[in-house]
Chain A
Amino acid sequence: DGGITQSPKYLFRKEGQNVTLSCEQNLNHDAMYWYRQDPGQGLRLIYYSQIVNDFQKGDIAEGYSVSREKKESFPLTVTSAQKNPTAFYLCASSMGAGGVGLQFFGPGTRLTVL
């Protein structure tokens, strides 16, 4: 059963803590993405990775970090430097460079800072 999984579905964080959101895909896609969505808004790109061991900052990378050690995994860490981290986080993947950019999305993680 191919697709993208994200965990956890809901995450609560105390101020000052770092948290890591998981994203796994078994679609054999080269490219992976992290987006942030605020209520009633569109998606904003945090980080993206076109290939293993390489990633680039998106439009709102400050306060976030990522790694891409395996093709199927692209975890996102929300650090204490992120001033307003409460949001819905979506991970996506696509075939990557040379493809048409059609993206497949995970179900999302809702992060709440207490």
Chain B
Amino acid sequence: SQQGEEDPQALSIQEGENATMNCSYKTSINNLQWYRQNSGRGLVHLILIRSNEREKHSGRLRVTLDTSKKSSSLLITASRAADTASYFCATDSKYSSYKLIFGSGTRLLVRP
């Protein structure tokens, strides 16, 4: 069962531009996380935002969370070719904070 769904499925931008990815989910959550996956590799945790937070920053990453709309966005500013990867949102639930449900991901291509 898919809890989080990312939009768009694929995104191609020029180096230096900003990239925005969106995630929607269905049930109440404790927190929402964003992960990155380079082709053929494992996932790397980027940022976690709790349900009582609205915005969080980490370096060039900015995450927002709107629990009323059950949605989140990940903004990567001043993108670099090395940001090329797939990005996944993952949500837990009010009933099992340790078990995550991943969306289908956004494939980001940053052209040099």
> Most chain-A CB neighbours within 10 Å: which of B30, B45, B48, B100?
B100
With A102-B48, A108-B40 known to touch, is A97 a contact of B98 (CB < 8 Å)?
A: yes
Report whether B41 and A108 are in contact in the complex, using a CB–CB cutoff of 8 Å.
yes
Q: Which residues of B contact A (CB under 8 A)?
A: 1-2, 30-31, 33, 35, 40-45, 48, 50, 88, 90, 92, 97-105, 107
A86–B6 CA distance with the chains assembled, in angstroms: 24
Per-residue B-contact encoding for A86-114, CB less than 8 Å = 1, 0 else: 00101010111101111111111010000
A96 & B98 in contact (Cβ 8 Å cutoff): yes
CB of B103 within 8 A of CB of A48, answer no
Q: List B contacts of A101 (CB < 8 A).
A: 30-31, 33, 92, 97-100
Among A14-22, A37-45, A64-72, the one that faces the other chain is A37-45
Chain B facing A: main interface SS: strand
For A48, the closest partner residue in chain B by CB is B99
Number of A-B contacts (CB under 8 A): 68
Interchain residue pairs with CB less than 8 A apart (13): A40-B107, A42-B2, A42-B103, A42-B105, A45-B101, A48-B99, A90-B42, A90-B43, A101-B31, A103-B90, A108-B40, A108-B41, A108-B42
Task: Answer whether residue A31 sits at the interface, using C-beta atoms and an 8 A cutoff.
Answer: yes
Additional A-B contacts beyond A50-B98, A106-B42 (19; CB < 8 A)? A41-B105, A42-B88, A42-B102, A42-B103, A45-B101, A90-B42, A90-B43, A97-B97, A97-B98, A99-B98, A100-B97, A101-B92, A101-B100, A102-B45, A103-B90, A105-B35, A105-B42, A108-B41, A110-B40
